[in-house]
Amino acid sequence: MFSYYFTILLFILSAATQLPNLVWCSSGGFSVELIHRDSPKSPLHDPNSTPSSCIRAAAERSRSRAIYFRDAIRKAHLSSSALPMDDASNFYSEITPNSYEYLMSFYLGTPAKKILAIADTGSDLIWVQCEPCKECYPQSAPLFDPQSSSSYKTIACNTDSCSMLPQSSCDSSSQCNYQYGYGDKSIVEGILSTETIGFDSTGGRPVQIPTPLFGCTHQSNGTFDKNDAGLVGLGGGKLSLIRQLGSTIGNKFSYCLPSSTQTSATSKVVAVGKPMQAKGSAQGNIIIDSGTTLTLIDDNTLQALESNVKSSISLPQVKDPNDVFNLCFDVSGTGASTQFPEITFQFSGGAPVALQQPNAFVEAGQNILCLAIISSGSITDSINIFGNIAQQNFHIGYDLASMQLTFAPTNCA
């Protein structure tokens, strides 16, 4: 068993993996099932994909997300130092829309219309494309028509709600207009509004959340996919779905991700909170992010880990056919699965999280297993991320009142 020590810097709630069902719990919470982008239930599912092609694409998204976190933290440091920043960056989420891992299904309006949207932990605003939509990206589903909903209301300028937007303006009707951008310079523009949002219930009883703030987008431009009708922001800002629920869900949430090989299983986010930040030492911090597939650690730590893994596994080493991972093994021999060591991440506060073979190694090709931990760069320029493969089959709970995180091994299927 190998142990590596980290201080948790940032917790990011990211939507888990299949279609959503929300049900209010006796404590005032609810659970959500969502869709992984590679799931057979996802409109993005490619039946011709292989485990190795999926992991190669996921590796590219993981590296992109690590760059986002690095740049976001740098900007936060610059902002806190009162240094000048480019005005255009003030309303941008640095996440690129196509880098997402998960989708969320929900209902909007009265009568309710079903919406399939990106679940994005890197931004806050909830928005959908609305009629009339000029110069909008094409989408497969019908646009949401606010005029056909009896519960739709716009937000006026000069209100507290309008001031939550990073960039806003007034139109001729004194409505609060927004312009919201993303890391690839995709932009959406529309009217800040309120509307009833609903979810299916695993118990058969639909759940409705009255009058949350959301964006009715009337103009868009960028790399969004035609299968997505909008975006659900799950970030830490005041406009995110999690933050808007607030004390209603007891300031707690948890999620449980099944193994990626269990394609028929659904995973859940049990609502109860918002992303939070825990202060730690500058060195050794790690982001807990279910929106990143792989785990990324700095070069020095990775080299030490790879050296220890090599010395403990007697299987033949092979080259990764996808050229993503440094350390891979031929597992075609009998009893190969028994030879993989346990790798433990020791978090501050006395929380050891032991990763078994399915959490630390991934199938990169036929009879090839690779260490699913890659480099995040030099120790002075790295962003460490504890990815969703490492989190599978753990029930991960967030208590925001006491600022505590718990890991409980379980069968998430």
Active-site hit among 124, 200, 228, 289: 289
Question: Measured between alpha carbons, how far apart are the two ends of the chain, in Å?
Answer: 26
Determine the Cα–Cα distance for residues 161 and 238; give it in Å rounded to an integer. Answer: 9
- Give the residue ranges of the chain where pLDDT is below 70: 1-35, 43-44, 68, 72, 75-102, 121-122, 183-185, 200-206, 235-236, 248-249, 251, 260-284, 334-338, 379-380, 400-401
Which pLDDT belongs to residue 83?
38
Bridge partners of residue 2, in order along the sequence? 343
* Among the listed residues 63, 47, 158, 43, the one whose alpha carbon sits nearest the alpha carbon of residue 103: 43
Say if residue 182 is exposed, middle or buried (CB neighbours under 10 Å; 0-12, 13-18, 19+). Answer: buried
Which pLDDT belongs to residue 328?
94
Angle at 396 between CA 255 and CA 393, to 5 degrees: 80
Say how many residues make up the chain.
Answer: 413
Mean pLDDT of the chain: 76
Three-state helix/strand/coil letters over 21-34: ECCCCCCCCCEEEC
Which pLDDT belongs to residue 348?
78
Angle at 323 between CA 318 and CA 326, to 5 degrees: 55
Assigned token pair, 364: 């990169």
Burial 38-59 (b: 16+ CB within 10 A, else e): bbebbeeeeeeeeebebbbbbb
Which pLDDT belongs to residue 203?
54
Which pLDDT belongs to residue 103?
78
Active site residue 289: yes
Which pLDDT belongs to residue 121?
63
The identity of residue 253, as a single letter, is F
Active-site hit among 38, 120, 124, 320: 120
Provide DSSP, 216-282.
EEEEEESS--TT--EEEE-SSSTTSHHHHHGGGGTTEEEEE---TT-TT---EEE-----EE----S
Which pLDDT belongs to residue 10?
37
Say if residues 195 and 208 touch (Cβ distance below 8 Å). Answer: no
Which pLDDT belongs to residue 360?
93
Which pLDDT belongs to residue 39?
72
